[in-house]
Every structure is written in structure tokens, then in C-alpha cells.
Structure 1
Amino acid sequence: MTYGWAILVILIVVAVLWQWGLFNPSGSVKSGQSGFWGVVPYDYKYTPNGIFSIELQNNIDDTVTIESIKVSTSTKSNSWSGEENISAGSLSPVFNINNLDPYNGGSSYEVFVVIEYNDSRVNTSLLSSGRIWGSVG
């Protein structure tokens, strides 16, 4: 391996570590999400006392009815259930899922979320699921 290749490998490793937030001086984790389709998280927050708040966006071309939202941490899970209609392209009210793990403010969290909704076009229950992470606060 020549010096040019070695420098290129080092630059790639540094870029990956930068994207992961290793060089983040504030120590906070950049929030994000992966997965989800159709009904997706628009905004979310995890509080130190174990309350996860989530607002959803309907990206489906018709009205959907949110039937349940299940949130799981590494050791606990809890859910909201009911019926909340969201028209196409609109945002839901904020749903609060209580009694999850308490964390210190500023620490990181990761939850797995399963959203069960009824698509009025096909009148059947569907799932949208994925991971959400960020800093507690």
C-alpha cells in the first residue's frame, strides 16, 4: 500500500467517525429515525421521566385511522391505543406513551416503534415500524 492509499483510508475513517458524532463536542446524539412507511414520525421527544411523545404525519393519499402505537426500549414497552383519524398529508396530535425507562437528561435513547393504522382505501390494518434515537431532554 502506498502512502496515498493509506491517507485515503484514514480520511474515510475520520469522515465516518465524524458522521457518527464522535467529534461532537456537545456530547448529544443527533436525533434520527429509520424504517417507517406511510404513517411516519414527524416529531418526537423522550423525557427524563420515561415519557415518549410522538407526532405522526400521514404520507398516504387518503385518511388513515391510528389504532395503536407501541414503543419499546431495551427493557420496557408500553402502548397507546384508540382511534385517531388523520387526513392525507396532515399531522396527528401528539401521542404520549408513559412508563418507559427513565434516563438522565442529555443521555442517549433508542426506541423501537410500531404504528398500527387502518388505511381507508383498502379498509385493512397495516403496520409502520422503525427505530428512533436521540438525546433525552
Structure 2
Amino acid sequence: MCAPSAAPPAATPAFDPAALRFDANGLIPAIAQDHATGEVLMLAWMNAESVARTLDTGRVTYWSRSRAAFWVKGESSGHVQRLVELRVDCDRDCLLVLVDQTGPACHTNRRSCFYTAVREGAEVEIMAPLE
């Protein structure tokens, strides 16, 4: 005799970027992290549309505050960030963008924008630019 079938799983609600908690400028901080190593690569900003574009295309898209325009990471440099997973923090006011990073993430040609440490009261560069 066959075992009774289990109840179907409950439907997962669709993600709505508009349900995030954006600041007064309509922006939310987004921390890019290498999905394989856990290395923090950079922090940038997103708005609801850049979140939606990232999810639609798989290419991480930020909002450039200085240019007031969308910025697809790697569009001009070739240092592409491919979305692996988007995570929302508990307050819904910050994003963690797990990426597959091609080349350096920082415009200074370093793997990470966090290449300076404060050690014993002094700033110390802990990461050289990539060759």
C-alpha cells in the first residue's frame, strides 16, 4: 500500500523591492561579498529599480550617487559582479549581495575597497593593487 502523499509546500511569497526600507533619498546600502571566500569587496547603494534590474539580469546594478545614474558593475571596466544570492537584513534596511567577482572590485585595482586598516592608531595599506 502506498503511503499518503504529503501536503504540498506552502507558496513562497514573491520578493518585492518596494518592501525594503530605503533612506530619504530612496537608497539602501548594499554590501558586496565574494560568495566563495566570504571576502567583503565593497559597499555601494541601490534603489528599488537597481535591485529589480539586478534580480532580472543577474548583473549587479547599483545607483551611482555622484552620477545620479545606474551603474552596472563591470560595464566599462570588465570587472563584473554576477549575482549569486541577494540577502536582506533583519531590519530590511541593508542588503548583502553575494557575488561571483571577475577581477578587482575596487576602482583602485584592488580586490576589495577595504584595503586600509587602522592598526595601532595608524592607517596601513594591507592590500596592494592587482598586477
* TM-score, scaled relative to structure 2: 0.31
Compare relative contact order (CA 8 Å, sep 6+) and give the higher one, 1 or 2. Answer: 1
* TM-score, scaled relative to structure 1: 0.30
Higher strand share: 1
